[in-house]
């Protein structure tokens, strides 16, 4: 079929039509060129702490899945490891930093975001150093080992005018987003009874069982998922009070200075109650939220993939995402680029730390403990 542009002789109308088609084509092609020219660059992430989470989850996410950010550098205590990463993953040697040289990142425009994945007790120090270098921060959970540290991190990021986010990857998982939606829209009614457990069997003493690096045992590590998820199931509420009991130590040689396991409860202002268990001596990972008649049950609940969810209305058939971490990092990169607030800000990490502190106090005192405001 011929278009007006194919005609040999042109009427005035054809001529105008041709001009405007031509103009549209020019404008479309210049828009495409402009889009090319201004295609936003991927933001550069430096991973701080090249341990199992960085290596096993964050690196593959950045290499294979992210669209808005890329691996641009590392912060590591080992120069050799840094050189190997630079060679293997294609960033320049100048983008290797040590924990003591993080302030020099201020002069490096290739790094926009520092992702802190070091032991818990170092999160505050490393996040604050990144903020002081003018870099946006993603910090792994638990945010820190005390509310005081969380406050210092939030203040440092505010003072430096950078964003702070916590690695709560499950907010970016479709199954957990469905829990969040139910909690918000209450199509099952409010979830009033929440239960779950999360743990693994630790075979030998590592920093996670060393109080000065971890700040506590499984509560700080696996338990945080349960308590965070309970707050999510109650539509973002903070519990008002907790009770807690430490498990007897069966392997004191490993768990001399942190709990080996614990049970705890959380009460919410609307009357909802949560009961959880977390342990370094048992493999577990399930979560259940019950409304008056309906429920959602997750098992496995907290893994990187392979989540399974049943509800009172049948199984939840959602397409799993290839990488929760990639979506989480991409979302943060877009928050930075568009100057919008992340859905997992430092304030959420601080809220969880308030609950953690109340739970440890309840263990020490044996009393029901009010969560500080
Ligand atoms: P890991 O032990 O495998 O790695 C820790 C890294 O920190 C290592 O590279 C180590 O060299 C470095 N490090 C720096 N200073 C150190 C010091 N003084 N002592 C010991 N190590 C030091 O631990 P991981 O499993 O990668 O956990 C790191 C952080 O990530 C923790 O806060 C953990 O809670 C969090 N994490 C989160 C998830 C998640 O799903 N969001 C999963 C695993 C770990």
How many percent of the chain have pLDDT more than 70?
90
Q: Pick the more confident residue, 149 or 19.
A: 149
Q: What is the mean pLDDT of residues 27-40?
A: 54
Residue whose Cα lies nearest atom 31 of ligand 1: it is 119
26-40, 97-111, 128-142, 318-332: least confidently modelled range:
26-40
Q: What is the mean pLDDT of residues 51-65?
A: 98
d(CA 171, CA 292): 25
Answer yes or no: are the C-beta atoms of 150 and 353 closer than 8 Å: yes
- Catalytic, out of 225, 280, 304, 360: 225
d(CA 5, CA 11): 12
Mean pLDDT (the chain, rounded): 92
**Separation of CA 259 and ligand 1 centre (Å):** 19
Q: Which residues make Cβ contacts (< 8 Å) with residue 13, sequence separation at least 6? A: none
Task: Give 1-4 contacts, CB < 8 A, sequence gap 24+.
Answer: none
Mutation probe of ligand 1 site: the residue of 46, 48, 49 with most atoms within 8 A of C-beta: 49
Residues with CB under 6 A from ligand 1: 49-54, 77, 117-120, 122, 140-141, 167, 169, 207, 213, 221
Q: Closest ligand 1 atom, CA of 53? A: 26
**Separation of CA 94 and ligand 1 centre (Å):** 23
Answer yes or no: are the C-beta atoms of 76 and 98 closer than 8 Å: yes
Q: Is 11 exposed, middle or buried (0-12, 13-18, 19+ CB in 10 A)?
A: exposed
**Separation of CA 122 and ligand 1 centre (Å):** 9
Q: Closest ligand 1 atom, CA of 56? A: 26
Beta bridge partners of 201: 281
- Catalytic, out of 141, 180, 304, 360: 141
> Could you confirm whether 42 is annotated as catalytic?
no
d(CA 206, CA 218): 12
Q: Closest ligand 1 atom, CA of 207? A: 20
Confidence of residue 10 (pLDDT cuts 50, 70, 90): very low
Tokens representing 344? 């997992």
Residue whose Cα lies nearest atom 23 of ligand 1: it is 51
Residue 1: predicted pLDDT: 32
Residue whose Cα lies nearest atom 15 of ligand 1: it is 118
Q: What is the mean pLDDT of residues 185-210?
A: 98
Tokens representing 339? 């100057």
**Separation of CA 42 and ligand 1 centre (Å):** 25
**Separation of CA 52 and ligand 1 centre (Å):** 7
d(CA 329, CA 57): 12
Give the burial string for 338-352 (b: 16+ CB within 10 Å, else e). eeeebebbbebbbbb
Answer yes or no: are the C-beta atoms of 251 and 155 closer than 8 Å: no
Residue 160: predicted pLDDT: 98
Does residue 345 have a pLDDT over 50?
yes
> Could you confirm whether 2 is annotated as catalytic?
no
Residue 37: predicted pLDDT: 55
Q: Is 260 exposed, middle or buried (0-12, 13-18, 19+ CB in 10 A)?
A: buried
d(CA 120, CA 51): 13
Does residue 44 have a pLDDT over 70?
yes
Q: Residue 39, SS3?
A: coil
Does residue 148 have a pLDDT over 50?
yes
Residue 337: predicted pLDDT: 98
Phi-psi region of 241 (alpha: psi -120 to 50; beta: other; left: phi over 0): beta
């Amino acid at each position: 079929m011929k278009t007006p542009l194919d005609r040999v002789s042109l009427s005035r109308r054809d001529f105008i039509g041709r001009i405007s088609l031509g103009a549209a084509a020019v404008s479309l092609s210049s828009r495409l060129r402009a889009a090319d020219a201004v295609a936003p660059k991927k933001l550069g992430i430096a991973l701080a702490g090249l341990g199992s989470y960085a290596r096993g989850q964050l690196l593959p996410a950045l290499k294979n899945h992210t669209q808005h950010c890329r691996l641009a550098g590392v912060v590591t205590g080992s120069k050799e490891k840094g050189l190997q990463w630079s060679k293997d993953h294609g960033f320049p040697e100048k983008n290797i930093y040590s924990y003591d040289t993080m302030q020099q990142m201020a002069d490096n425009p290739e790094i926009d975001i520092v992702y802190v994945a070091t032991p818990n007790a170092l999160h505050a120090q490393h996040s604050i150093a990144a903020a002081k270098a003018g870099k946006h921060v993603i910090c792994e959970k638990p945010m820190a080992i005390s509310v005081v540290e969380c406050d210092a991190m939030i203040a440092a990021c505010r003072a430096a005018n950078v964003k702070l986010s916590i690695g709560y990857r499950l907010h970016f998982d479709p199954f957990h987003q469905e829990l969040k939606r139910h909690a918000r829209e209450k199509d099952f009614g409010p979830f009033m009874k929440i239960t779950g457990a999360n743990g693994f069997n630790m075979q030998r003493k590592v920093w996670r069982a060393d109080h000065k690096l971890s700040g506590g045992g499984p509560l700080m590590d696996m338990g945080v998922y349960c308590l965070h998820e309970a707050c999510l199931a109650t539509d973002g509420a903070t519990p008002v009070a907790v009770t807690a009991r430490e498990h007897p130590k069966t392997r004191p040689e490993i768990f001399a200075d942190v709990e080996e396991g614990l049970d705890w409860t959380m009460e919410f202002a609307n009357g909802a109650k949560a009961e959880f268990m977390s342990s370094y001596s048992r493999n577990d990972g399930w979560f259940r939220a019950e409304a008056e008649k309906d429920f959602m049950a997750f098992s496995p609940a907290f893994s990187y993939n392979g989540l399974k969810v049943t509800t009172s209305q049948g199984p939840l058939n959602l397409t799993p995402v290839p990488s929760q971490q990639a979506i989480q990092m991409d979302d943060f990169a877009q928050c930075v680029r568009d100057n919008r607030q992340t859905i997992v800000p430092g304030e959420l990490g601080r809220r969880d730390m308030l609950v953690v502190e109340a739970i440890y106090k309840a263990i020490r005192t044996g009393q029901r403990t009010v969560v500080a405001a």
